[in-house]
Structure 1
Amino acid sequence: MLPAMAPRTAPPVPSVTTTTPTTAPATTAPATAALATTGFAPFGRTAAVLAVTALLATSQLYGMIPLLGSVATDWHTPPAGLTWLVSAFGFGYAAGFLLFGPLSDRLGRRRVIVAGVAATAVSTALVALAGSPGPGLALRALQGLTIGAFPPVAMAYIGERVEPHRRLVTVTTMTTGFLASAVLGQLAAQGLVATLGWRSFFLAGAGAFALAAVALRWALLPDGPSTGASPLAAYRAMATLVRAPGLRLLYLATPVVLGSFVAVYTGLQLTGTTGLLELRASALPVILAIPFLTPRLARVPGPRRIALALFTAAAGTALVGLLHPGTLLLALLLMVVTAGIATAAPGLIDTIGSRAGAVRAPAVSLFTALLFVGASLGPQVAAALTGHGLAALALVLAALLGGGALLALASRR
C-alpha cells in the first residue's frame, strides 16, 4: 500500500472520474521506450527481494513498540515519553516518500533504492548506539528518512520494469511484506529484547539492510538514461491535489487508518496488557489473507469499500473499550480491527489513484505520506489517553475511525 512514482510532468488536476480502480502502477511513455532496449525485470527475484525489503523497512516502525519499556529502563525515562521514538521514525519515513520519489525520476530508480537501503544500514546501527532520548529521536528520524527512499521508488520501478501481467502480483507480494511487518516486526523485537536487549533489534536490522542493499543491486535492472525531470513538477501537482474536490475528503480520512492501528498496539504496550505475544501474532493470518481477497473486494465501489472497512475497524475497537475483554476475545477483536485497516488502506489507494487520473503517481505518494503522518501521531494519542485506561483509548479511536468512514461516504458526491 505504498506510492507509485512521481510523474515526469505535472498536468493540471483532472476532474473526478469513475474509472475502475487498479492497484498496479501506471507506466509512462518514456518508461515504455526505455523498456524497448532494457527488457523486463525477472519476476521471481524482483518480487522476492522487494517483498523482503518491504518487510524490513516497516518493521522498524512497529518494532519500536515492544522496546519502549526496556529503552525507558535503560534511559531512566517514563515509557510514555518515549513514544516519540515511534513517531520520529514515522515522520522521517513520510518525508522520505515525498523527497525521494520525485528525485528518482532524475537520479534513477535502482540508484536511489540501493543508496537509500545502504544508508539505512548505517542509520539503523547508529540508533543502537544512542544513549539518551535526544540523540535517539534524531537518529530515529534519520532512519525513517533514509528508508523512505525505498517504498515510492520501488513502486515506480514495478510500474516501469515489471511485465504488465505480473505487476499486480508483484505489488501484492510487496504490499504483503509491508502489512506483515506490523506483526513480524513486533514479534522479532519482543523476542530479541527478551534475550539480547533492545539494541540487538537495531544491530540485527542494520545487518539485514546491508544484505538487502546487496540483493537489490543484484536483482534490479540498471538504470536507463536520466529523463532530466524536475522534482518541483511533482510537488506542484501535490499542492493542487489537496484542494481537488474528489480527493480532499479522502485525504482527510487517511491519517486515521494507520494512526488508529499503531495507537491500539502502543496502548496495549503502555497499559501492560498480558498475552502480548499472542495478541500480536493473532493478526498475522488476517494480514496474509487480505491480499488474496483484494480482487473480490475491488468489486465494491471504492468509497463504500473504504467506509465499510473503517466501520468494521471502528466496531472492533469500540468493543475492546466496552467489553474489557480477556486475551482470547481481545485477540479476536484485534483480528477484526486488522481486517478493517488492511482493507481500507488499499481501498484508499485505488480510489485516490483512479480519481487523480493523469497525476496518479503524486496523488498516491501524497496519500502514503499522510498515512504515515497518522502512524506517527498514533503513539502520541496512545500516550495521552492510556492514563485513563485502554478502554478510554479504544473508544476515542473508534470515534476517529467512524469519522473516517463518514468522510469516505461523503466523498461519493
Structure 2
Amino acid sequence: MNKISDEFYSSASLPLALLVACALSVVSLLYIPLPILPSLTQTYRLSPSTSAYALQAFSLAYALGFLVFGPLSDRVGRRPVLVVGLVVLALVSLGLMLVSSPGLFLLGRGLQGFAAASFPPVALAYITECGTARQRIWGVAWMSTAFLSAGLLGQIYGVMVAGRWGFAWALLPLMVIYLATALRIALLKQTRVSRGSAGTSWWAAYEGTGRVLKDPKLRRVYVCALLLLMVFVAFYISLDVRLGAELEQQGVSLLAARAIALPAFLLPLLVALLTPRWGALRLATAGLLVTAVGLALCAVLVNRSAYSLLAASVLFVAGVCISVPSLISRVASVAEPSVRGLAVSLYTFVLFIGASLGPLLASRSATWSDSVFFLVLAAGIGLAALYSAWPVSSARCSTVLGAR
C-alpha cells in the first residue's frame, strides 16, 4: 500500500471519518428545510406559492453541479476540487446566515446547491483511488451509509435544530465540518489520479461522456439507479399523503414512520463484507430484488394495518440500502480510470434526477388505490433487477454469476 493509502485510512489522522461526517452534512442540506418550510416562509417572507423554491433552487443547482465537478476533478485532481468546493460551500452558508430578503435567500440556496455538488461524486471517486480493494469497498460503504441516512437524519436535524433556533443557526455546525474536512484533505499528499493534460481544453473533460454512456454495463447501472431513487422518494411522499393522517391518529409521527427503518441504513456496511465474495453486480441485483419484494409486501399488507405496512417498509428500505452502494461499486469497477470521475458524476446525477421525478410519480398516481400503487412500484424495480442481471452479451459477459 502506498503512503497516501496509509495516511488516508489511518485511524490516527481520520480523514475517512471526516469525509463520512462531511457527506452526511452536505447531503443533509437538501433535506433540512423539508420539515420547516412553514417557518422558512415566515422568516424569509416567502409566499406560499414560492416556498417550494427553497427546495428547487438547491436541487436544480445541485444536479447541474454534478456534471461540472466530476469531470473537473478528472482534469485537475480530486483534492483541489474537494478543498475549494468545501471552502466555497462554507462561505456561501455563512452568507445565507446573513441574508433576510426572499430573493437573496433563494439565490443563496442555489449557490449552496451548486457548491454542495462538488462533494459527492468527487469524494466517491477519491475514495476509490486510495488504499487496497478491501479498504475502498469499506470506504464506499461508509459514504453510502452517510448519503442514504442524510435523507432521514437531515429532516430530524431540521426539526430539532433549525426548527428551534432557525435555519441560519443550523448551518453553523455544518460549516465547521466543511472547513475541518477541507483542512484535513488539504494536508494529505496528492493521490495518484488520472487527469487530462494541462494543455487540453475544458470541453476535453466531457469527451468521455459518449464512451461512458455507450458502455452497456454502465447504462444498466444508471437505469437501475434512476428507478431506485424515483421509487424511494415516491414511496415516502405517498406514505405521508395516503397514510399520514391515519398514522398520526395512532400516535406515529411522520418522522417516526421513517425512523423505524433506520437500522436498514447500516446495511451498506454488510455490503462491504459481501462484495469481495459475491461481487458488486450480484449484490446490486439482490438488493433490487429485496426492494421489489418489500414493495410487494406493502401492497399486500397496506389494507390490513398501517403498522404492517411500516414493517414491510423496513424490507423495502433494506433493499435500497443494499442496492445503492453496490451500484456505486459497480460504476467504480467498470469505468475506465480516465473517466471515473465523469462516470461517478453521471451516476449521482441520474440518482438525483430519479429523486426529482419521485414527487411527479407520487402526484400522478394519487388516484390509484394503495395496493395498485405499491404493486406498480414493485413491478418497476423487479424489471430493473432483471435488467441488471441479464447478460450484456455472450462475447463480453459469459455468465452473470461470474461478473464482478
**For this structure pair, what is the TM-score category when the shorter chain's length is used for normalisation?**
0.7 to 0.9
Aligned to 1:221: 187
Q: Give the distance between the partners of 1:387 and 1:233, measured in 2 at CA.
A: 48
Aligned to 1:382: 362
Aligned to 2:178: 212
Structure 2 residues without counterparts, runs of 5 or longer = 394-404
- 1:13-412 superposed matches below 5 A: 40-41=7-8, 43-44=10-11, 45-68=14-37, 71=40, 75-77=46-48, 85-124=54-93, 129=99, 138-160=107-129, 162=131, 166-192=135-161, 194-196=163-165, 200-201=166-167, 203-221=169-187, 224=190, 228-229=197-198, 230=200, 232-271=203-242, 272-273=244-245, 274=248, 275-296=253-274, 299-300=277-278, 302-324=280-302, 326-359=305-338, 361=340, 362-386=342-366, 393-412=373-392
Q: Give the distance between the partners of 2:39 and 2:368, measured in 1 at CA.
A: 23
Identity over aligned residues, as a percent? 32
Aligned-pair CA distance for 1:53: 0.1
Q: Give the distance between the partners of 2:368 and 2:54, measured in 1 at CA.
A: 22
Aligned-pair CA distance for 1:42: 6.0
- Structure number with the bigger relative contact order (C-alpha 8 A, sep ≥ 6) is 1
Aligned-pair CA distance for 1:218: 3.2
Contact in 2 for aligned 1:110/1:221 (Cα 8 Å): no
Q: Give the distance between the partners of 1:250 and 1:174, measured in 2 at CA.
A: 18
Aligned to 1:17: none
AA aligned opposite 2:332: G
Structure 1 residues without counterparts, runs of 5 or longer = 1-26
Q: Give the distance between the partners of 1:155 and 1:365, measured in 2 at CA.
A: 9
Q: Give the distance between the partners of 2:283 and 2:130, measured in 1 at CA.
A: 30
Aligned-pair CA distance for 1:223: 6.1
Contact in 1 for aligned 2:28/2:153 (Cα 8 Å): yes
Contact in 1 for aligned 2:293/2:378 (Cα 8 Å): yes
Aligned-pair CA distance for 1:52: 0.5
AA aligned opposite 2:170: A
Contact in 2 for aligned 1:87/1:376 (Cα 8 Å): no
Aligned-pair CA distance for 1:405: 2.0
Aligned-pair CA distance for 1:355: 3.3
Q: How many residues align?
A: 374
AA aligned opposite 1:183: L
CA RMSD of superposed structures (Å): 3.6
Q: Give the distance between the partners of 2:356 and 2:232, measured in 1 at CA.
A: 11
Q: Give the distance between the partners of 1:341 and 1:165, measured in 2 at CA.
A: 22
Change (3 A) 1:72 1:340: farther
Change (3 A) 1:171 1:89: same
Change (3 A) 1:221 1:244: same
Aligned-pair CA distance for 1:259: 1.9
Q: Give the distance between the partners of 1:165 and 1:90, measured in 2 at CA.
A: 33
